[in-house]
Amino acid sequence: MEQVRNDVRNIAIIAHVDHGKTTLVDQLLRQSGTFRENQVIQERVMDSNDLERERGITILSKNTAVRYKDTKINIIDTPGHADFGGEVERVLKMVNGVVLVVDAFEGPMPQTKFVLKKALELELPVISCINKVDRPGARPEKVMDEVLDLFIELDADEEQLECPFVYASAKNGIASLDMHKLGDNMEPLFETILEHIPAPKGNFDGPFQVLISTIDYDNYIGRIGVGKVERGSIKTNQEAIMVNEQNPELHKKVKITKLYEFEGLNRMEVDQAEVGSIVAIAGIEGIHIGDTVCNAEHPEALPFVKISQPTIAMTFSVNDSPFAGQEGKFVTSRQLRDRLFRELQTDVSIKIEETDSPDAFKVSGRGELHLSILIETMRREGYEFQVSKPEVLFEIIDGKKNEPMEIVTIDVPEEFMGTVIEKLGKRKAELINMTQSKGGYSRLEFSIPARGLIGYASEFMTDTKGNGILNTIFDGYAPYKGEIPTRSQGSLIAYETGESIAYGLFNAQERGTLFIGAGVKVYEGMIVGENARLGDIEVNVCKRKQLTNVRASGSDDALKLSPPKVLSLEQALEFIEEDELVEITPENTRIRKKILD
Ligand code: GTP
């Protein structure tokens, strides 16, 4: 029989990196009376892992629970970085609503959009929490509008648009429904959660099913599967069956020896848990994300979010330099291998493969950041090894090569815009959007093959003197676009469009592709192809179209066009030999035809 668990709420906290998710959960924990007076409280209790604390980012989702009045609120903290995007979707499957935290100064950021989109797609009710209202320059009213605009952009339905707004200073532990008058504590947020997030409901009496959504690891009890009881009630010392929808072969008899629910930051052992509860199950060897633990007589697997495929690989190998063994205590290939394979227990987006050499392992993950965190964690643990340059993993479908794409969102002061556009252009990025953001910053959005981003983050930091913000989000696969040119090649061409002259580099190796090389400035109002991007133009899909507000600058020694300018044909001839020039005339080539089409 379907019943409602009025004593429980399951929520996820979603936000862009640094908007204050962890601080907010800390406050809810503190104020729900979870902490005793004399308990030592670390500054941010949620991020237990040292590396997380140092980098200030949440890597794996954490479960916690607070009590407010008679209700237990299970809170799932979600990772803030897009490389771990699959995890966000999985934890959202466990909850009945989300609290979207948005910085009252910064407003919605790329990750805000990404996580909100996921929540809306799953039809979850959203509470928007405008945080950091104490910040100098906070603009809660504007940010509220921006959040609503985002809801509209993401096609939120009427009900979702009615979402309540709570204003908070998580740092000071206060919240309010009125942006002009802050309260004394977090009660307004607790109350809003109780009121707007539906209680979980389900069949109390049916054969039990628990869908495993995350994996924890504990040195004492080993591997722990965490998930929601989707039906019935689970008890300890019960025979059960573990099944998996995507892996029909998995049909394993198991015994529930230890069962936990969350209380504060701890796991508390329980004998039984009902539908709607979030539980941790220990003692099942090989338990995996996506498995369903169910009643032994009714082995029915629940459907589950597909795990995203890795996009970047690196080879980890034993250090063979003359200085090997000086920094780490674990140096052998056996130690390296064991450590890497252990990582598979908690991180489902990682893949480890043996290679031809017993000293080297191919490690694939969800992006450069994902792998760099693993590398750093292992180095801190005392593992000494070397890593190769990252390599992008292509997807081959019907013999065609597809490459992983990323959406890059960049906020930069205007003075650095030219350099960023130029550099990314060379890396095959396509500028897809450009808007003015606050404080003299511009926001640029690019679509770029993942391999174009390799090594870019540090270049970006240097180019923007540390003033830029860069975010990337995995954007599926697209047909392979050819090699990323390392330098300009081909010869200069010029063509008249009737209103102005555009010019670029014609790459002889890729017929039909016109590169607008570095050093070329595309002026406002200049006529270029529809798909023109700073970097290249696919001439074969060109249509006449005016791109406004597109600017690029830079210099290219090969062209000696500095400062860049729009050239007449005669001027273009000063830079190239006449026989190198491909002039696009009505009689000329397929390129011309496509431009005129
Ligand atoms: P990730 O774990 O990386 O996803 O970040 P997060 O969203 O959990 O952010 P976190 O709680 O770590 O906060 C980021 C920074 O913002 C920290 O330096 C906090 O002290 C600060 N912060 C959080 N809440 C507030 C607030 O209400 N006011 C002010 N002024 N600062 C805050």
The band of 591, judged by pLDDT with boundaries at 50, 70 and 90, is: very low
Position 272, amino acid: Q
Cα 189 from chain centre: 27
Grade residue 131 by pLDDT with cuts at 50, 70 and 90.
very high
User: Closest Cα to atom 19, ligand 1: which residue?
Assistant: 20
Cβ of 594 below 6 Å from ligand 1: no
The percent of residues above 90 in pLDDT, for the chain, comes to 30
pLDDT, residue 470, reads: 81
Which DSSP helix (H) or strand (E) runs through 252?
Answer: strand 251-256
C-alpha 389: how far from its chain's center?
22
426-459 residue pLDDT tens: 888 988 888 876 667 788 889 998 888 877 877 7
Tell me how far the alpha carbon of residue 22 lies from the centroid of ligand 1, in angstroms.
7
**Which atom number of ligand 1 is nearest to the Cα of residue 57?**
3
Query: Which residue type is seen at 62?
Result: K
| pLDDT surpasses 60 at 585 | no
The reply to whether ligand 1 has any atom less than 6 angstroms from the CB of 20 is yes
Q: Kindly indicate the confidence band of residue 242, based on its pLDDT and cuts at 50, 70 and 90.
A: very high
Higher per-residue pLDDT: 512 or 149: 149
Position in ligand 1 atom list of the atom nearest CA 101: 7
CA–CA gap between residue 381 and residue 366 (Å, rounded): 22
- Tell me: the pLDDT tens digits for 522-535? 333 333 333 333 33
Say how many Å lie between the CA of residue 185 and the centre of ligand 1.
Answer: 17
CA of 474 to the centre of ligand 1 (A): 24
pTM of the model: 0.66
Alpha-carbon distance of 568 to 318, in angstroms, equals 58
Q: For residue 144, what pLDDT band results from cuts at 50, 70 and 90?
A: very high
DSSP code, position 506? E
Distance CA 187, CA 31 (A): 9
Chain segment 178-236, per-residue pLDDT in tens: 988 888 899 999 999 999 999 999 999 999 999 998 887 777 777 889 999 999 999 99
Q: What is the rounded average pLDDT of the residues 342-369?
A: 85
CB burial of 479-504 (b: ≥16 within 10 Å; e: otherwise) equals: eebeeebeebebebbbbeeeeebbbb
Atom number in ligand 1 closest to CA 135: 30
Alpha-carbon distance of 559 to 572, in angstroms, equals: 10
Q: Residue 146 in 3-state DSSP? A: helix
Is the CB of residue 7 below 6 angstroms from any atom belonging to ligand 1?
no
Say if ligand 1 is within 6 A of residue 53 CB: no
Is residue 24 predicted with pLDDT exceeding 60? yes
What's the pLDDT at 49?
53
Helices (H) and strands (E) in the chain, counts: 13, 36
C-beta separation of 328 from 383 below 8 A: yes
Averaged pLDDT, 329-339: 89
Which of 111, 171, 186 for a ligand 1 pocket mutation test, highest count of atoms within 8 Å of Cβ? 171
Helix (H, G, I), strand (E, B) or coil at 358: coil
> What's the confidence (pLDDT) of residue 321?
63
Binding site for GTP: which residues?
A: 18-23, 131-134
What pLDDT, on a 0 to 100 scale, did the predictor assign at position 99? 96
Query: Cβ(66) to ligand 1 under 6 A?
Result: no
Which atom of ligand 1 lies at the shortest distance from residue 15's CA?
A: 7
Query: Residue 342 and residue 374: Cα distance in Å, rounded?
Result: 12
119 CA to middle of ligand 1, Å? 21
Q: Is the pLDDT of residue 84 over 70?
A: no
- 58: Cβ below 6 Å to ligand 1? yes
Give the model's pLDDT for residue 40.
40
Q: Classify residue 536 by its DSSP letter.
A: -
Percentage of residues in the chain with pLDDT exceeding 70? 71
Cβ–ligand 1 distance for 80 under 6 Å, the answer yes
Query: Is any atom of ligand 1 closer than 6 Å to the C-beta of 61?
Result: no
Q: Tell me the C-alpha distance between 353 and 80, whole Å.
A: 28
Q: Is 57 in the pocket of ligand 1 (CB under 6 A)?
A: yes
Decide if pLDDT at 101 tops 70: yes
What backbone torsions phi and psi does residue 229 show, to the nearest 5 degrees? -75, 115
- What confidence category does residue 412 fall into, taking pLDDT thresholds of 50, 70 and 90? confident
Distance 102 CA to ligand 1 centre (A): 10
The predicted structure's pLDDT at residue 492: 32
**Residue whose CB lies within 8 A of the most ligand 1 atoms, among 13, 16, 22, 169, for a mutation test:** 22
pLDDT over threshold 50, residue 471 = yes
Start-end of H helices in 389-490: 417-426, 456-463
Q: Kindly report, residue by residue over 484-507, the tens digit of the pLDDT.
A: 543 333 333 333 333 333 444 333
Exposure b/e, 392-410, CB count within 10 A at least 16 = b: ebbeeeeeeeebbbbbbbb
**What Rg do the C-alpha atoms of the chain give, in angstroms?**
27
Distance CA 125, CA 194 (A): 12
Task: Answer yes or no: is pLDDT of 560 > 90.
Answer: no
Give the amino acid at 67.
Answer: R
The span from the CA of 237 to the CA of 308, in Å, is 35
User: In angstroms, what is the span from residue 169 Cα to ligand 1's centroid?
Assistant: 10
Give the 3-state secondary structure of residue 30: helix
